[in-house]
Amino acid sequence: MTFGMKLKSWWLKLMVRLYIPAALQGMRHTLARVFRPKVTLSYPEEVHVPRKGYRGEHRLKKDELGRMKCVACLMCQTACPAECIRIDAGPSPWPDREKIPIAFTIDMLKCIYCGMCEEACPCDAIELTPTFNKVATTREEKIYDINKLLSR
């Protein structure tokens, strides 16, 4: 170890022990932070727009004739790890399928928004929308029935 290196290490140790240079460095960093862009939103005026593919609340899709696509195969209900989907099947009025759901209920409070139902669906009938704001004032409001799911 040369004398110069010793001197340098002594100087660095002194700077650490003095605490003030490090503190000043930290304060420079803090001050620089002031001018960075803000990461929060002013909520009622600015609304968070979720990225593409965000998994929000469900909806049931309709085909080009305006009929619901669901054939009540119960694949989503089976796939759901949170067991929040409940389907009651009934006879179909249309010739292209045997069953349609009479009741299709999703408990949004149980749902973990994993998207497994969307993956499982063979008819591409259920999907997760990018709805971010999921506010309700009662528990009952968050249990969505078939009409609500179809109308979304």
Partner 1 sequence: MANFLPSLPDVLKIAFCIGFFVLGITPLLVIIERRLSAFMQGRVGPNRVNIPWLQRMGGVLPGGLGQPLADVIKLLFKEDFLPASADKALYYAGPVLVLVPPALGMIVIPWGNRIGNEHLQVADLSVGVLFAMSVLSVAVYGLAFGGWASNNKFSLMGGLRASAQLVSYELALGLSIIAAIMLTAGAGPDALGTVDPREIVQRQTHGILSWNVFGGGDLKMAPFGLLAFVLFFIAALAENNRVPFDLPECEAELVGGYHTEYSGIKFSVFMMGEYVGMILMSSLMVTFFLGGWYFPGVTDPADHSVLAGLLSVAVFVTKIMTILVFYVVIRWTLPRFKYNQLMNLGWKRLVPLALANVLAIAAVGVLGGAK
Chain residues that interact with partner 1, rule: CB under 8 A: 20, 23, 26-27, 29-31, 33-40, 42
Type of residue numbered 3: F
What's the closest the beta carbon of residue 22 comes to partner 1, in angstroms?
A: 9
Residue placing its CB nearer to partner 1 in the complex, 22 or 102: 22
Give the Cβ contact number of residue 84 at 10 Å. 21
* Burial category of 57 from C-beta neighbours within 10 Å (exposed 0-12, middle 13-18, buried 19 and up): buried
Pick the closer one to partner 1 by CB: 48 or 52.
48
CB of 60 to partner 1, least distance (A): 39
Name the residue nearer to partner 1 (CB basis): 2 or 40.
40
Contact 70, 101 (CB under 8 A): yes
Report, in Å, the least distance between residue 12 CB and partner 1. Answer: 19
Does an H or E element contain 90, and which? strand 85-91
Task: Name which of 38 and 51 has its Cβ closer to partner 1.
Answer: 38
Rounded Cα distance between 152 and 147, Å, is: 9
